Homo-oligomer: A and B are copies of this chain.
Amino acid sequence: MPRHSGRAADQLRPIRITRSFTRHAEGSVLIAYGDTQVLCTASVEERGPAWKKDGGWVTAEYGMLPRATHTRGRREAAQGKQSGRTQEIQRLIGRSLRAVVDLSALAGYTITVDCDVLQADGGTRTASITGAYVALVDAVAAMRRKNQIKTNPIHGQVAAVSVGIHAGSPVLDLDYAEDSGCECDMNVVMNEAGHFIEVQGTAEGHAFRRDELNQLLDYAAKGIGELLAAQREALAG
């Protein structure tokens, strides 16, 4: 059964990475996975983490503009708290970035990457990770230009994509329509060596078999390979 978008089962949506999207942040990246658009800004602050004596810190916050989605969601600031989903996502982004950073080389600094979804069409958390990495690289480059740090704390590359089983078949990079009708989906975060940083699979409709899991991981590995290439191309530009 073909995908409604005409994409092949293992085909990403068009990926666009725009650096320096806004002026003030040390790193500012607009990333698009098709109609999903996330603004990722990396901010450098001269303060270490309060709860740790040594080293620096990299953290992330995630938000969605109220009308990024098909129907308006309530503004979390007005509700007075972040949803469990929001917190889960920003913890995931933070862990994924820290997996490729040597925090001791950032001693005395905190980098906060804000991922704000301007338009949502599925895959906002994986697009956030992929875009946040590019913003982080730009922020670290700015720190080195200012001699704030001596060595490059980034020792790897990280990108993410979703995979899932839709209408009985594994597919790569689900959009909102596919995601809503999906029996199970998995968010996969990998590094440039093809190793796993995070694997989060959830069966909403029916449980998935070991062979399905394997197929999904194959698709994810292929997609992430292309996303890592897109990051490198954007950073070279």
Contact = CB atoms under 8 A, between A and B. Distances in A.
Nearest to A61: B75
Given A67-B24, A72-B112, A39 B118 contact: yes
Contact of A203 (B63, B198, B201): B198
A124 to B, nearest CB: 13
A91 interface: yes
Contacts of A90: 84
A68 B236 CA distance: 25
Interface of A: 22-25, 28, 35, 37, 39, 41, 43, 45, 61, 63, 65-72, 75-82, 84-88, 90-91, 95, 99, 112, 114, 116, 118-120, 156, 186, 190-191, 193-204, 206-210, 213, 217
A132 to B, nearest CB: 13
Contacts of A210: 194-196, 217
A63 B87 contact: no
Contacts of A206: 195
- The count of identical subunits is 6
A81 B84 contact: no
Contacts of A119: 22-24
A21 to B, nearest CB: 8
Given A67-B24, A207-B190, A213-B199, A78 B84 contact: no
Contact of A24 (B69, B81, B197): B69
For the complex of A and B, 7 pairs with smallest distance between CB atoms: A195-B207, A84-B87, A76-B77, A43-B72, A41-B67, A199-B201, A77-B77
A186 B200 CA distance: 9
A116 B197 CA distance: 30
